[in-house]
């Protein structure tokens, strides 16, 4: 379970992968494995939430890091590189660094 | 506060808006207003979470609906149309309908 809220200083990375539908499942599993094996042990990791699009053409990772510094330190970590190379071999990706400006919920 | 979790049957809409940086703030406010004034009163609304990209070029709405049927009913509701037209006048958008396949968190 992950929480989206405003004003907590978290860096959000929304990474949209465009993939051939017959590779969607493989890409999603690769991102799950990367998270379980490497990312979740990096300092400042908060969450990674892997989504598959219903049309088969996208995979989206909605990820949270404690800060931009923590995210950039992870990117420089050689342990992260093989996973990102494997993802790049399967899909184009468009990483968007953001912050929450409003969260409206029925909760 | 919104919650991301696997296996709850929620439909996730990740809508990535591409905008001129000098219109980013206006677009984000438009989406917040649309949520507060209309969307949150529609049957099956769960959450809308508006993000601004740090580079100024995107706004992302991470929204949740109880089901795909609820989402499609909202799209047919004439109350939703003016907001979507106003957003389309400011930005290109790329709506992605998805489901969560894995949520990994330190929570």
pLDDT tens per residue across span A9-62 = 999 999 999 999 999 999 999 999 999 999 999 999 999 999 999 999 999 999
Range with the largest mean pLDDT of B7-11, B15-19, B40-44? B15-19
Which of A25-29's residues contact partners 24+ apart within 8 Å by CB, and which partners? Answer: A25/A52, A26/A90, A27/A59, A27/A87, A27/A90, A27/A91, A28/A52, A28/A59, A28/B101, A28/B102
Beta carbons of A11 and A64 less than 8 angstroms apart: yes
Yes or no, beta carbons of A96 and B53 under 8 Å apart: yes
Cβ contact, residue pair A100, B49, below 8 Å: yes
Q: Which of A28, A32, A104 lies closest to B48 in CB terms?
A: A104
Within 10 A of B6 (CB to CB), how many other CB atoms are there? 15
B49 at the A interface (CB within 8 A)?
yes
Interface check A81 vs B, CB under 8 A: no
Q: Do B103 and A60 touch (CB under 8 A)?
A: no
Cβ contact B4–A3 (<8 Å): yes
Burial of A105 (0-12, 13-18, 19+ CB in 10 A): middle
Name residues whose C-beta falls within 8 Å of residue B78's C-beta, 6 or more positions apart in sequence: none
SS3 A70: helix
For residues A85-104, average pLDDT:
95
Partners of residue B99 in chain A, C-beta under 8 Å? 51-52, 54
Q: Which residue of B96, B97, B99 is the best one to mutate when testing the A interface, meaning the one whose CB has the most A CBs within 10 A?
A: B96
CA angle A82, A84, A90 (to 5 degrees): 105
Q: Do B105 and A2 lie within an 8 Å CB cutoff?
A: yes
pLDDT band at residue A82, thresholds of 50, 70 and 90? Answer: confident
pLDDT digits (tens, 9 = 90+) for B30-86: 999 999 999 999 999 999 999 999 999 999 999 999 999 999 999 898 888 888 889
Of B29, B12, B13, B11, nearest to B91 by C-alpha is B29
pLDDT at A49: 98
Q: Do B46 and A103 touch (CB under 8 A)?
A: no
């Amino acid at each position: 379970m992950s929480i989206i809220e405003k004003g907590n200083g978290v860096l959000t990375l929304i990474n949209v992968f465009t993939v051939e539908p017959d590779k969607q499942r493989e890409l999603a599993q690769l991102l799950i494995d990367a998270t379980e094996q490497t990312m979740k042990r990096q300092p400042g990791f908060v969450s990674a939430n892997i989504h598959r699009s219903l049309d088969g053409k996208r995979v989206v990772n909605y990820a949270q890091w404690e800060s931009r510094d923590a995210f950039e330190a992870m990117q420089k970590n050689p342990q992260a590189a093989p996973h990102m190379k494997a993802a790049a071999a399967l899909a184009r990706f468009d990483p968007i660094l953001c912050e929450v400006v409003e969260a409206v919920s029925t909760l």
